[in-house]
């Protein structure tokens, strides 16, 4: 990162330095992007607030200022990938009889895209190995997304049903993209959607 017109921003301890470079409208987004990359590449444990700040080209105090703790940055970085206001309508809107297919296709699309796969992998790896990360995933993401999907369902125990559907998609992601079991790892996505959609449809719509 270079400062505007090559002028290095003065760094002070304790307070974020308020320059155009540091706290401009793009700073929050740059921090989130850096955080996502750092968590994906280094894992939860080895990612530090200082490292995120450095990668984003800002003062560490600004990361604290915007997000608070490392857990909060992690949660915010996850929400960028799993934004409920985008994810939920993509699943629940449209004909009810095709919700299973929409969910399967949406989820596999997210995993097939390398740009979204890396942060998702980082999230699951972190959540499986660090209770702090599991708590974030549990509280901020799964609950916020699954609760909203469940609110739109007309079945008994809708939250349980939404979680069963999510469990299947998560399991497929782990076997296909992480463990890379064959033939699942190289099966055409449409073949997976065709098999899995009726399962999700039953969980989400059949009493």
CA distance 79 to 86: 10
CB of 162 to a copy of itself, least distance (A): 9
Q: How far is the CB of 90 from a copy of itself (least distance, A)?
A: 20
Contacts to a copy of itself by CB under 8 A:
43, 124-125, 127-129, 134, 137-138, 142-143, 146, 157, 159-161, 163-164, 166-172, 174-176, 178-184, 187, 191-192, 195-196, 198-199, 202-203
* Shortest distance in whole angstroms from residue 22 CB to a copy of itself: 34
Neighbouring CB atoms inside 10 A of 27's CB total 22
Distance of CA 94 to the CA centre of its chain: 23
Q: What's the closest the beta carbon of residue 143 comes to a copy of itself, in angstroms?
A: 7
User: What is the spatial distance between Cα 3 and Cα 171, in angstroms, rounded to a whole number?
Assistant: 45
Given the complex with a copy of itself, which of 65 and 125 has the nearer CB atom?
A: 125
Nearest Cα neighbor of 32 from 18, 58, 52 is 52
Nearer to a copy of itself, 1 or 128 (CB): 128
- The DSSP 8-state label assigned to residue 181 in this structure reads -
How far apart CA 101 and CA 88 sit, in angstroms, is 14
**Closest CB to a copy of itself among residues 116, 199:** 199
Tokens of 159: 């939250």
């Amino acid at each position: 990162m270079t400062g505007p017109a090559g002028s290095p921003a003065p760094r002070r301890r304790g307070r974020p330095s308020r320059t155009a470079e540091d706290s401009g409208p793009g700073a929050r987004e740059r921090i989130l992007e850096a955080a996502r990359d750092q968590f994906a590449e280094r894992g939860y444990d080895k990612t530090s607030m200082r490292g995120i700040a450095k990668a984003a080209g800002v003062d560490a105090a600004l990361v604290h200022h915007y997000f608070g703790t490392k857990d909060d940055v992690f949660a915010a970085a996850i929400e960028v990938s799993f934004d409920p206001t985008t994810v939920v309508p993509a699943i629940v809107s449209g004909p009810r009889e095709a919700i299973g297919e929409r969910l399967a296709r949406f989820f596999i699309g997210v995993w097939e895209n390398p740009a979204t796969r890396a942060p998702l992998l980082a999230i699951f790896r972190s959540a499986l190995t660090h209770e702090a990360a599991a708590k974030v995933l549990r509280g901020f993401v799964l609950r916020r997304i699954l609760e909203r999907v469940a609110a739109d369902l007309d079945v008994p125990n809708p939250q349980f049903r939404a979680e069963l559907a999510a469990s299947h998609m998560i399991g497929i992601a782990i076997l296909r993209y992480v463990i890379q079991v064959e033939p699942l790892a190289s099966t055409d996505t449409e073949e997976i959607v065709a098999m899995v959609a009726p399962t999700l449809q039953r969980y989400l719509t059949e009493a």
